[in-house]
Amino acid sequence: MLDRAKRLQPKLVMYRRHIHANPELGFQEFKTSQYVSDQLTALGVEHQRGVAKTGIVAVLGNGNGPTIGLRADMDALPLTENNDTSYKSQTPGVMHACGHDAHTAILLGVAELLAKEEINGTIKLLFQPSEEGGADDRSGGKLMVEEGALDDVEMVWGLHVGSGETSGIVAVADGPVTAAADSFVGSVMGVGGHGAFPHRSLDPIWLASQVLPAIYGIIPRRVDPTKKAVITVGTIHAGTANNIIPMKVDMTGTIRSFEEDVRAQLHAGLEQAFSIAKAMGGDYVLEHPYGYPATVNDKDAVRHIRSAAEDLLGKDHVVEAHPMMAGEDFAYMARKSRGGFIALGAAIGDKPRPHHHPDFDIDESVLHIGAAVMAETVRRYLGK
């Protein structure tokens, strides 16, 4: 399988570069979806378009056995690319800065590797829109689940390239691998007035200065220290002039955790922290919606993909993954069906090319590795 995938490498690079040069935001992947559909049609692979608005579900196999899934996300980010390459983004202000172009290219490679195989069962190739959506109602993965794309899927696998990880290394682990990614938007309200007469007002900046330590005290003083969690205040905005006490202070931030009880504790703690403003005579409003849940890998799903990767690449190229505080909406699929999510190292040299950054890029030589590992995993599983 690895040798066959190597022969596809030039085509996988072509796929990735075309998609990279023509990025589209979540639920706007019309051209990307058409491009994927064209490649699947050329391979003779049956598929359905318009799933979860702009997604595609392709089907391989004879149906005489279990149904399993492979997932790739297709959307880009609202960034302007810094790289000067032949395949740089041609869409102003939009860029593939997380590797979804590579994921889509890899899954197209899987389609070609398996298109002519005798498969006892069904393989669903899930080309998903809008992974970067953020809130629940903007998640392509959640919408695919809601529309029933995984109703008959007993196991599903996905991968993510890592621009900061050693090229060609596969990282995999049981249990939680990405965090629940929630957010909050809040305001601390006081009474505005002249900066020279603070006693005639109720300074919301002073109130917020009491709220902030309480927010940052939730994790070290309220959460079990053996648990992993993050609360970050990302923005604070207040005031219009140096001699005016404003009416309110606005804050936004992110909340990350792996376990549902800790997640609930963080949300409750945030309410308590903001309520300090009320106790001191002010007021507050706070919204903290739940976003993507944690991605929790199934033990059996991991065992199958780890075995395939070790046999193809050698055990020295398969390492234990460490849980990341990043969010990932593959979590919805892994909750619906037993899921296995892996990382594929794709670092280029020594220059940092972080995800969600204008300098992001990957080592394209790993594309065939991803295609081989995914294709071999499902082929073995359906041949068990």
User: 276-304, pLDDT tens digit by residue?
Assistant: 999 999 999 999 999 999 999 999 999 99
In sequence order, what are the residues at sequence separation of 6 or more whose Cβ sits closer than 8 angstroms to the Cβ of residue 185?
Answer: 250, 251, 252, 286, 287, 288
Q: What is the pLDDT of residue 136?
A: 55
> Quick check: 304 and 340 in contact, CB under 8 A?
yes
Question: What does the pLDDT look like over 29-63, one tens digit per residue?
Answer: 999 999 999 999 999 999 999 999 999 999 999 99
| Second-level CATH architecture of 180-287 | 2-Layer Sandwich (3.30)
Residue 137 pLDDT more than 70? Answer: no
Q: In sequence order, what E strands does 38-172 have? A: 46-51, 55-60, 67-73, 122-128, 153-162, 170-172
Catalytic residues, by residue number, are 292, 364
Q: Where are the domains of the chain?
A: 2-176+294-382, 180-287
Task: Give the Cα separation of 32 and 36 in Å (integer).
Answer: 6
Give me the CATH code for the 2-176+294-382 domain, please: 3.40.630.10
Q: Which amino acid is residue 381, in one-letter code?
A: Y
pTM, full prediction: 0.94
pLDDT band at 351 (very low <50, low <70, confident <90, very high): confident
Q: What is the pLDDT of residue 344?
A: 98
> Quick check: 238 and 204 in contact, CB under 8 A?
yes
DSSP bridge partners of 48: 57
- Our CA dihedral for 126, 296, 66, 383, rounded to 10 degrees, sits at 100
Angle at 177 between CA 20 and CA 55, to 5 degrees: 40
Residue 152 pLDDT more than 60? Answer: yes
Edge-to-edge strands, sheet with 283-287: 229-238, 248-257, 180-189, 283-287
Task: Give the Cα separation of 19 and 358 in Å (integer).
Answer: 16
Residue 135 pLDDT more than 90? Answer: no
Task: Give the Cα separation of 104 and 330 in Å (integer).
Answer: 14
> Quick check: 73 and 54 in contact, CB under 8 A?
no
pLDDT band at 384 (very low <50, low <70, confident <90, very high): low
Q: What is the pLDDT of residue 310?
A: 98
Share of the chain above pLDDT 90, in %: 97
Task: Give the Cα separation of 203 and 47 in Å (integer).
Answer: 60
* Largest interatomic CA distance in the chain: 81
Q: What is the pLDDT of residue 89?
A: 98
Give the residue from 71, 73, 74, 70 showing the smallest Cα distance to 30: 74
> Quick check: 231 and 254 in contact, CB under 8 A?
yes
Q: What is the pLDDT of residue 350?
A: 84
